Amino acid sequence: MGIYFEILDLAIWRILATAFEAATIGGLADWFAVSALFYEIPIPYVRKHTNIIVKNREKLTEGIVDLVTTKWLSPEVLEERLTHIKISEGLLQSLESEENVNKLVGFFAGIFRRISGEIDHPHLVILVQKMLKDKLESSDVAKPFGVWLHGIITEGKHHEFIAIAMDQFSTSIKEPETRAIVLGKLKNALELYASKDWLKKSAVWIGKKTGGIDPDILIDRILDLVLTLLEEIKENPEHPIRKNLENYVLEFASNLESGDEKTLTYVDNLKRNWILNDQTKGMIQKVLVQLKDNMLLQFSSAETPVMQLIKRQLYRFLNELREDDKSRKQIDAWMRTTITHLVTKYHHELGDMVRSSLGKLDDKGIMLQIKDKVGYDLQYIRLNGAVVGGIVGLLIATVRWAIH
């Protein structure tokens, strides 16, 4: 005001006034520019060029995605960065803590428990059965089995087995079911004998009526004789039946050793029928169930023998790895190659993650997030505009004064 009323008529006052006016204009212009980034300014014509972040959201998102995927986190950048990282040393340092070792062992235990839970799956039973079948068919077990069998007999190691077998036979014969089966067979034999002619039928009828033929007494006598015979075979190594049995086994063993075609065919059929038998399938199933239960028990606690063994072996491996520079370098190279391959293969997922994260924000949310990160620094644009405007105004006023 003093300048316009010529109270302050010195040139310096006009120069300062011009600088102040320029600073004000610069500050207001930059304030408008910064505000237009985040908000819509209701000024005709200019309005469509405000609220820039929201209106250009799609371009901004794609620009950020492109910057992240092709510049900051490109496969080349990540690969170069990985070359300077000693991954194995970082892992070894992390596993110096017993807590981390226990976590790793627990992780292994969890994997083993999941595997154990499926070990009795019906498909696995079939797979094991098929593997056994293929293995037996492709393996020559006849000759080794023949040699083993021949040695068992000639060295007298079979006597205990025979004693056990005779005891088992005796136990089976004493079962009521065995008596019922044999009694039925005896009655059928008598009926068949009586049906041959009138004379035999009469003899059987007379025998039953007079008590000369009593199936129950006969069966008890027959079973007693069989039990006595089994006991004799068990107790007498020189028993004729026992000797005949040994000779049959020795002959069978010799045929296996010599490759007798008929014997080998019999063994092949025996192997095939045994493996494909439903009872064998049930036996495999039972073994797998027991294995499953034992494995689940062993991996249920960190104090079980198996878990302690795993922990000891892990410590041993870590100690050896700390002393083996070559192995550490190999691990680093393998991990770099693997990570680089995965990053290259799934690199588009990085862009999709950034795009998805930005897409979850509404217009106001994305604006406020950007403003929260850079808004404070943008305030200096307004200050810089005022300062630069003031300096430019000062220079212009000074030049104009110098000219006039």
Q: For residue 160, tell me if it sits in a domain.
A: no
Q: What is the distance between the alpha carbons of residues 400 and 397, in angstroms, rounded to a whole number?
A: 5
Q: Which pLDDT band holds residue 67 (cuts at 50, 70, 90)?
A: confident
**The predicted structure's pLDDT at residue 36:** 66
**37 domain-assigned:** no
Query: Does residue 321 fall inside a structural domain?
Result: yes
User: pLDDT-derived band of residue 399, with 50, 70 and 90 as boundaries?
Assistant: confident
Residue bearing the bigger pLDDT, 363 or 22: 22
Per-residue pLDDT band at 53 (split at 50, 70, 90): low
Burial of 404 (0-12, 13-18, 19+ CB in 10 A): exposed
Distance CA(253)–CA(151), nearest Å, equals: 9
- pLDDT over 60 (residue 1): no
Q: C-alpha angle with apex 226: 224 to 229, nearest 5 degrees? A: 110
Q: What is the mean pLDDT of residues 314-334?
A: 88
Tokens matching residue 3: 């300048």
pLDDT at 152: 82
Q: Is residue 258 part of a domain?
A: no
On whether residue 103 sits in a domain, the answer given is: yes
Please give the full DSSP string across 113-172, using - where no structure is assigned.
HHHHHTTT-HHHHHHHHHHHHHHHHHS--HHHHHHHHHHHHHTTTTHHHHHHHHHHHHHH
Give the span between the Cα atoms of 129 and 278, in whole angstroms: 10
Task: Give residue-wise pLDDT tens across range 95-117.
Answer: 888 888 888 888 988 888 888 88
Does residue 155 belong to any structural domain of this protein? no
Is residue 386 classed exposed, middle or buried when 0-12, 13-18 and 19+ CB atoms within 10 A define those classes? buried
Q: Which of 45-59, 141-155, 296-310, 315-329 has the lowest mean pLDDT?
A: 45-59
Mean pLDDT of the chain: 77
Name residue, tokens 């069966």: 219
Q: pLDDT band for position 365 (50/70/90)?
A: low
Cα maximum dimension of the chain: 167
Question: Is 193 inside a domain boundary?
Answer: no
Bigger pLDDT: 60 or 316? 316
AA letter at 107: F
Per-residue pLDDT for 314 more than 80?
yes
pLDDT at 209: 65
pLDDT of 200 reads 66
User: Which amino acid is it at 396?
Assistant: I
pLDDT the model gives residue 375: 60
pLDDT of residue 78: 78
Residue 381, pLDDT score: 61
> Residue 6 region, left (φ>0) first, then alpha (ψ -120 to 50), else beta?
left
> What digits encode the pLDDT tens for the residues 341-358?
887 887 778 778 877 777
Which residue range forms the structural domain that includes residue 329?
Answer: 87-117+301-343
Query: Residue 222 has what pLDDT?
Result: 83
What pLDDT, on the 0 to 100 scale, is given for residue 128?
81
Do residues 145 and 256 make contact, with C-beta atoms less than 8 angstroms apart? yes
Q: Is residue 316, in this structure, part of any structural domain at all?
A: yes
Return the structure tokens found at 14: 């006009």
pLDDT digits (tens, 9 = 90+) for 157-199: 777 888 888 888 888 888 888 778 877 777 777 677 677 777 7
Domain count of the fold of the chain: 1
For residue 11, the model assigns a pLDDT of: 64
Measured distance CA(134)–CA(128) in Å, rounded: 10
Average pLDDT over residues 365-381: 65
* pLDDT value, residue 252: 82
Q: In 174-324, where does DSSP find H-type helix?
A: 176-194, 198-210, 215-235, 240-258, 261-276, 278-298, 305-323
